[in-house]
Amino acid sequence: MQWTHVEGKDRGKVRLYALSTCGWCAKTKQLLMELGVDFRYVYVDLLDADEMAQAIDEVAQLTSQQAFPTIVIDDDRVIVGYRADQIREALGP
């Protein structure tokens, strides 16, 4: 799957599942950049059918739904939606 790497401070393995058209996804990505953390993101709507199915599966297993943005920290903590407080608390300085 085509993940884009944004370099920054190591706060664990941070992944962002996003849609390229979604406003809250854009805000979430922007916040991660402001916080300066190292993360990878993927725009699920731009994937080919097989990879999209795989991404949907991964998100569904983590959250039992299908919503974007979904942030996964260390394969363990999951934040669904632009929850700025939770994101800051989990990844902020």
Partner 1 sequence: MNAEDVDQEAIERLYERLTREAEEGGYHLNPDVPFTKNLVRGLIVNERRYGYPSCPCRLAMGSRERDRDIICPCDYRDPDLDQYGACYCALYVSGAILRGERELTPVPERRPPMAERRAQEPVLPASSLPWPVWRCRVCGYLCARTHPPEVCPICRATQDRFERFL
Choose one: 2-10, 17-25, 32-40; the region binding partner 1 (CB under 8 A): 17-25
44 forms part of the interface with partner 1 (CB under 8 A): yes
CB of 20 to partner 1, least distance (A): 7
Pair 5, 40: CB distance under 8 Å: yes
83 forms part of the interface with partner 1 (CB under 8 A): yes
24 forms part of the interface with partner 1 (CB under 8 A): yes
Q: In what order do the strands lie in the sheet with 14-18?
A: 4-6, 39-43, 14-18, 70-73, 77-80
And the tokens for 39? 């993360």
CB of 16 to partner 1, least distance (A): 14
Cβ contacts of residue 51 below 8 Å, gap of 6+? Answer: 1, 2
56 forms part of the interface with partner 1 (CB under 8 A): yes
